Structure 1
Amino acid sequence: MRLGILGTGKIVQDFLPMVKSIPAIELVGLLSTPRSVARARELQATYRIGTVYTDYAALLADTTIDTVYVALPNSLHYDYAKRALQAGKNVICEKPFTLVASQLTELIELAGRQDLVLIEAITNQYLENYQVIKRDLTKLGDLKIIECNYSQYSSRYDQFKAGTILPAFNPKLGGGALMDLNIYNIHFVVGLLGAPTHVQYLANVERNIDTSGILVLTYPNVKVVCIGAKDSTSPVRSTIQGTTGSIIVNGPTNTVESITEIAHDGTTTDLTLNQAEHRMYAEFVAFERLIANHDMVTVKRQLDHSQAVMEVVDQALASAGLQLG
Structure 2
Amino acid sequence: MRLGILGTGKIVQDFLPMVGTLPTIELVGMLVRPHSLDRARQLQTTYPIKHLYTDYQELLANEDIDTVYVALPNSLHYQYAKEALEAGKNVICEKPFTLSGVELAKLKALAITKDLVLVEAITNQYLENYQGIQKSLTDLGDLKVVECNYSQYSSRYDQFKAGTVLPAFNPKLGGGALMDLNIYNIHFVTGLLGAPTKVSYHANIERDIDTSGVLTMTYPNTQVVCIGAKDCAAPVRSTIQGTKGAIVVEGPTNTLEQYEENWPGGVTRKVRLNKHIHRMYAEFKEFERIIETHDMTVAKQRMAHSQIVMDVVDQALASANLQLG
Normalised by the shorter chain, which TM-score bucket?
A: over 0.9
2:310 aligned with 1:324, yes or no?
A: no
2:261 aligned with 1:261, yes or no?
A: yes
Counterpart of 2:93? Answer: 93
Counterpart of 2:12? Answer: 12
- The equivalences for 1:124-143 within 5 A come to 124-143=124-143
- The equivalences for 1:284-323 within 5 A come to 284-323=284-323
2:193 aligned with 1:196, yes or no?
A: no
Letter in 1 for 2:131: Q
- The equivalences for 1:192-271 within 5 A come to 192-271=192-271
Deviations 1:196-248 (A, max 9, x none): 00000000000000000000000000000000000000000100000000000
2:183 aligned with 1:183, yes or no?
A: yes
Deviations 1:150-195 (A, max 9, x none): 0000010000000000000000000000000000000000000000
1:9 and 1:300 map into 2 onto residues whose CA distance is 28
1:273 and 1:191 map into 2 onto residues whose CA distance is 18
Q: TM-score, normalised by structure 2?
A: 1.00
Deviations 1:103-135 (A, max 9, x none): 000000000110000000000000000000000
What secondary structure does 2:241 align onto? strand
Deviations 1:53-93 (A, max 9, x none): 00000000000000000000000000000000000000000
- The alpha carbon displacement at 1:45 in A equals 1.6
What secondary structure does 1:265 align onto? helix
Letter in 2 for 1:164: T
- The alpha carbon displacement at 1:265 in A equals 2.0
1:262 and 1:317 map into 2 onto residues whose CA distance is 35
2:85 and 2:202 map into 1 onto residues whose CA distance is 36
1:43 and 1:54 map into 2 onto residues whose CA distance is 15
What secondary structure does 2:266 align onto? coil
Letter in 2 for 1:297: T
What secondary structure does 2:265 align onto? coil
Counterpart of 1:81? Answer: 81
Letter in 1 for 2:259: I
Letter in 1 for 2:145: I
Counterpart of 1:274? Answer: 274
2:129 and 2:109 map into 1 onto residues whose CA distance is 32
2:242 and 2:265 map into 1 onto residues whose CA distance is 13
Letter in 2 for 1:142: D
- The equivalences for 1:137-176 within 5 A come to 137-176=137-176
What secondary structure does 2:36 align onto? helix
What secondary structure does 2:156 align onto? helix
What secondary structure does 1:155 align onto? coil
Counterpart of 1:118? Answer: 118
1:22 and 1:115 map into 2 onto residues whose CA distance is 25
Which region of structure 1 is more displaced relative to structure 2, 216-225 or 262-271? 262-271
What secondary structure does 2:178 align onto? helix
Counterpart of 1:27? Answer: 27
Letter in 1 for 2:11: I
What secondary structure does 2:220 align onto? coil
The runs of at least 4 aligned residues of structure 1 exceeding 2 Å deviation read none
Letter in 1 for 2:158: D
Letter in 2 for 1:273: L
What percentage of aligned pairs have identical amino acids? 71
Q: TM-score, normalised by structure 1?
A: 1.00
What stretches of structure 1 of length at least 5 have no aligned partner?
none
Letter in 1 for 2:178: L
2:265 and 2:131 map into 1 onto residues whose CA distance is 24
1:208 and 1:272 map into 2 onto residues whose CA distance is 40
What secondary structure does 2:247 align onto? strand
- The alpha carbon displacement at 1:139 in A equals 1.0
Deviations 1:260-304 (A, max 9, x none): 000122200000111111100000000000000000110011100
2:199 and 2:170 map into 1 onto residues whose CA distance is 23
